[in-house]
Chains A and B, each alone.
Chain A
Amino acid sequence: MPTLYDYILSDDCYKVRLLLSMLSVGYETRKVDVHPGRENCRPAFLSLNPLGRIPVLVDGDLVLRGPSSILTYIALQYDRARCFLPEGAAALAQVEMWLSFAETELSAISDIRANELFRLAPATDIAVLRRRADRAMEVLEDHLAEGEIVGRRWVAADRPTIADLALFPPVALSAEAGLPIEPYPSIWRWLHRVKNLPGFVVMPGVLPLLPKVAV
């Protein structure tokens, strides 16, 4: 059974928790005291991930860091039906393209959010991060808007993939980074499509779909 080194407020960990839930994969959780303990910066954790970040997934002898590689591994190892990771060069590459977008562009949202939360001095100027975050949302909005025109409801394929799950957490939490959502109506609708997927779970800051309430 894999072990996830996890922190409840981490949006990167949430990417992995989403996929594990949607694939009904059992796993152990090892809670890491990121804040205030900064356990991820201490030698014991660094021997697991020298970059000092979570999530880390340990499965047998395999130790993986970085949400993209962890998502890819879980999808290949535990999803025999390949629901979340299509086959074929073009399809795979498109998933990869959006996984990469999540890492390089949406990380700006995560960084601003982390700064708002924990008030540790950010490595990059907040104004620079904000411009990158705004542009990333704009690019994603354009892509999803075109998708709505041509009938493609998910970012990288005709069905949800790990690319959607990698993009969802920072975008769903973008208000915590001070970003508005009203300029991005296609993103808004896509967020609700993801929330409606079987096995969807929330994290603090992501509101659940409310149940049938009797009036």
Chain B
Amino acid sequence: MLFSRRQFMCGATATVLSMPALMRGIAAEASGNLTLVTIFLNGGNDGLNTVIPITTTQYGAYSSLRQIPGGGGLLGYTEAQITAAGTAFDPNYLTPAASATTYAFHPNMTQLRAMYGQGKVAVLLGVGLPPVDPNRTDHAIAQFDWATGSVNKYGLANTGWIGQSFDQIGGAGAIPPTVSVNYSSPVILTGVKNSPLALGGDIGGFSVPCGDGGTDCTNRLLDLSTNNDYASNFMSAEFARSLAESTTTYVGVVKGYAANASGSTYPAIGNSSLRSQLKQIARLIQAGAPSRAYFASQGGYDTHSSQQNANSQPGLLADLSLAISDFYGYLAANGLSKNVAIMTYSDFGRRVQANSTAGTDHGTASVHFIVGDPVKPGVYGAYPDLTKLDANGNPLIAVDFRNYISDMVQALGADPTNIVGSTYPKLGYI
């Protein structure tokens, strides 16, 4: 059973700080400069079609295993399609697409390809959960592993690797060091000393209504949530009370940030949830919010059937590429991109062989991106050999996910030893 937030807040930890202090974060400025934006690709993104191997042997394996049964064609892209898209790339990021012979981004990820050529993208190949975790192909366990940077601790831990990093390096003060912009309060951002601030939707809309037509009832709600003796009798009420207190505390602060950065020149977000989330993050950064870790998520990657439909993986990756490019472009145009990095992660990759419903099932190794000015551009890890799959038809991982996380923990300014469990060699992507 997962520890609930309530247990954590009501004294499951050895040191119990007063609730307002917990919610407001540690007063000291966090050390280090990096602002991390994590994008979770929810459902297990098929890495094979995100970065396609175009060397002869690899592409041969890819195109034969990815034939959709019943003559459905290729669950992937032909060489002609890849050439036409212009998304091919080599480990040397300066090689233009027309001359590249090693890999290709998904044809819809043209903006990411362009950013790669400008030296803003590190591609991490063959990253995934290790075989020592027998449940690495189940969503719940896999997502938990990634969030906590651990294996086989499902139900036994309640803090995530980003939260633990900020436990070490300190928090922001005005608002917590970690902020989620998709309504949820994810474990990955939760530390012992800090809970993330959970925003959703437009940060300007983060306000406190009244029930009788009045416009701003922050004070009334603050009255209700402080000094509430009832709450001391019931843990659930205490949880609600302290959450209410922290929320009313942050409302004014967040509204201030929203007012300072209207984001009116941000590119249109259409009806894309991801683009909306990244826009909110950009506005907070622009307004000078001191938080250093943001979390956004994009759903729909569990493509067991009809994976090549335009609104399935192709549409998601198009959205992802555009969202990242718009976000970076906005920050760069405002001189704010120097210390901001994006990293993606997902539950797992997917099966090499296409299934009978033109989709793919849960797999292992996948591809992820780190994007921004701080990255050291190029290719890291290794593309799994598609002719040497394991007994379940999955590629062998080249990079343990904890190794991926370890580099980023250090980039934030924290020591990874007690977070991902051992010291991994530096990959060097940032």
A and B bind? no
List B residues at the A interface (Cβ < 8 Å): none
